[in-house]
Structure 1
Amino acid sequence: MIIGILATGITPDELIDQHGSYAEMLMRLFDHAQHQFDYELFDVRDGIFPQDAVQCDGWIITGSKFNVDDNYDWIIKLKQLIVEIDAVGNPIVGICFGHQIIAEAFGGRAKAFEGGWGVGLHRYNIVGAPRFIADASESFTISAMHRYQVTEKPENASVFATSDFCEYAGLIYGNNILTLQAHPEFNLQYEEALVNMRKGITIPEDTADAALATLYQDGAATDSVAVAHWLADFLTRKPV
C-alpha cells in the first residue's frame, strides 16, 4: 500500500537532525508499530502536489507552523485536493494542521482557541465505539502542540475523541477520513525539546511549565503505538 504524505510543515531547524521531519516521525511510528507501508512525500508548501487524488492508496496530512486561515495558495489548493480525495473514497488521516484543514474543507472552522495553547501530554476520551479501535480503550494520551483547534464541527463529521480542553479532538468523516488534533508521532523527548524551545517566546511560560510537568511526572508515557495501530487499520480498511 502506498501512503502519500502531504507535508504541510517540518520540524524546527534546531531539532530536525535529532528527531527528523514530521513525515519521518510518522514513518518511524508506523515502523515501530510494525505496519509496513510504502510512502510518497509531497511538500505541498512548495507547491509539490500529487497528479491526482488516486496517485496513492491513502493519504496523511501532517502538522504545520502555519494556520489554516493564512489562505496561501497551497492551503487553498490543499482544501480542494481533500474534497477530491474524499470524492473518490480513498482514506485520509489528518494530524493537527491536517485535522484543522480537513474540517475547514468541509465547512467547519478552526481558529485560535480562547483557552490558549494546548501543550504537553493530553488525555482524550473516546466517544462511542469507532470501528477502527479494536481494543477496549476508553481514552488515550498523546502529545499536544497547538494554539488553533476546530471550534465548529462540519456537519459531515462525528466526534470520536474529546477532552475538556479540546471538544473536537478526534473526528471521523464517513468511512474514509479520520483526524486528530494532537500528535501521535511526537515522542516525549521531542515534545520536551519543542516546549523548552518555545517557552516564553510563543508559548507563555506558565503554560510551558504546566506542560513540562506532564512530561516529568512519574509514569509519563504516550499511547502513540496504540494510536498508530488505529490509524493503520483505518488506512487499510481492516475490518474489526
Structure 2
Amino acid sequence: MHIGILQTGRAPDDLRDTLGDYPSMFERLLDGHGLTFTTWPVLDNVFPPDIDAAEGWLITGSKHGAYEDHAWIPPLEDFIRQAHAARRPMVGVCFGHQIIAQALGGKVEKFPGGWAVGRRPYDFDGKMLHLNAWHQDQVTELPEGARVLASNDFCRYAALAYGDDIFTVQPHPEYDGRVIDALIRLRGPGVVPDDRLAQARETLDTPTDAQKMARRMADFLKARAHV
C-alpha cells in the first residue's frame, strides 16, 4: 500500500544527521508492514496533486502550532477535509493529530498544564500502552463526530477516530529513546521545565509500546485501502 507522508516539521539538524528526518522515522517505525512511502514537505508549500496521489495519508509532527499563521496550514486543512469527505484513510501524529481536529472543527491550544515529555502511559479502552510524548499543545475541544480512543490524566484526547477512516494519536510512536534524548538536549533547554526534562531522562532506556502502535496504524491504513 502506498502511503503519502505530509511532512509538517523537521527534526533538529544534529538529529537529522544521525537518525534522519521525521518521514524517515515513520518509515522505520512502519517497516515490515507492506507499506511504501512518498513524502510531500507541505511545510514548504509542496502538496500532493490531489487526494488520489496515494492510497492513504500520514501527517507528521511539527514544532509549529496548528493555530499559527503559516501559509501552508489553510491548504493542509483543505486537503484533510477533502480526504475525509472522500473517505481516504488517514493517520495523524502529534501535530497531525491536532491539525486534523482543527480542520474538522475542533480546537487546539497550549495546555495550561504545560509539557508532556518522554515515556507516558495511555489508556486505550482499558489497555495501557506506553509511548513517548513531546508536546505542549493539545486538542481541547473535539470536532463533531470525533470518538475518543485513548486518554490519560494529562491528555484527555490522546487518540481520536473520525468515522472509520481517520485515526490520530497525540504521542509519538516514531520517537525512540535516542530521539527523546536528542530533543531534550537540542530543543528542551529554556523551553521545557528542567524537572520534566529530568523525568524524561529517567525513562530513556525503558521500552515503549511503539511496535504495538505501529501495527495498529498499519492495520488501520491497510484495512481501509480499498473501502
2:52 aligned partner: 54
The secondary structure found in structure 2 opposite 1:171 is strand
Aligned: 1:205 with 2:203: no
Aligned: 1:173 with 2:162: yes
2:11 aligned partner: 11
1:85-133, CA deviations, whole angstroms, 9 ceiling, x for partnerless residues? Answer: 01111100000000000000111111100000010101100127xxxxx
2:212 aligned partner: 226
Letter in structure 2 aligned against 1:104: Q
The separation in 2 between residues aligned to 1:78 and 1:164, in whole angstroms, is 30
- The structure 1 residue matched to 2:38, chosen from 27, 37, 40, is 40
1:140 aligned partner: 129
Cα drift, residue 156 of structure 1: 1.4
The separation in 2 between residues aligned to 1:83 and 1:40, in whole angstroms, is 20
Cα drift, residue 66 of structure 1: 0.7
Residue identity (%): 43
1:132 aligned partner: none
The separation in 2 between residues aligned to 1:42 and 1:196, in whole angstroms, is 28
- The structure 1 residue matched to 2:109, chosen from 111, 123, 130, is 111
The separation in 2 between residues aligned to 1:61 and 1:185, in whole angstroms, is 12
- The structure 2 residue matched to 1:164, chosen from 131, 153, 176, is 153
The answer to whether the Cα contact below 8 Å between 1:30 and 1:228 also exists between their aligned partners in 2 is yes
2:24 aligned partner: 24
The separation in 1 between residues aligned to 2:7 and 2:72, in whole angstroms, is 11
**Unpaired segments ≥5 residues, structure 1:** 129-137
Aligned residues: 224
Letter in structure 2 aligned against 1:9: G
2:139 aligned partner: 150
Aligned alpha-carbon RMSD (Å): 1.2
The separation in 1 between residues aligned to 2:83 and 2:39, in whole angstroms, is 16
Letter in structure 2 aligned against 1:118: A
1:193-237, CA deviations, whole angstroms, 9 ceiling, x for partnerless residues? Answer: 211323332111112112212325xxx111111100000000011
The secondary structure found in structure 2 opposite 1:184 is coil
The answer to whether the Cα contact below 8 Å between 2:12 and 2:186 also exists between their aligned partners in 1 is no
The answer to whether the Cα contact below 8 Å between 2:121 and 2:130 also exists between their aligned partners in 1 is yes
The secondary structure found in structure 1 opposite 2:204 is helix
**Unpaired segments ≥5 residues, structure 2:** none
The separation in 1 between residues aligned to 2:99 and 2:188, in whole angstroms, is 26
1:67 aligned partner: 65
The answer to whether the Cα contact below 8 Å between 2:40 and 2:48 also exists between their aligned partners in 1 is yes
The separation in 2 between residues aligned to 1:56 and 1:215, in whole angstroms, is 35
Q: Taking structure 2 as the reference length, what is the TM-score of the superposition? A: 0.95
The secondary structure found in structure 1 opposite 2:76 is helix
The separation in 2 between residues aligned to 1:121 and 1:82, in whole angstroms, is 29
Letter in structure 2 aligned against 1:124: Y
The secondary structure found in structure 1 opposite 2:131 is strand
Cα drift, residue 157 of structure 1: 0.6
Q: Taking structure 1 as the reference length, what is the TM-score of the superposition? A: 0.90
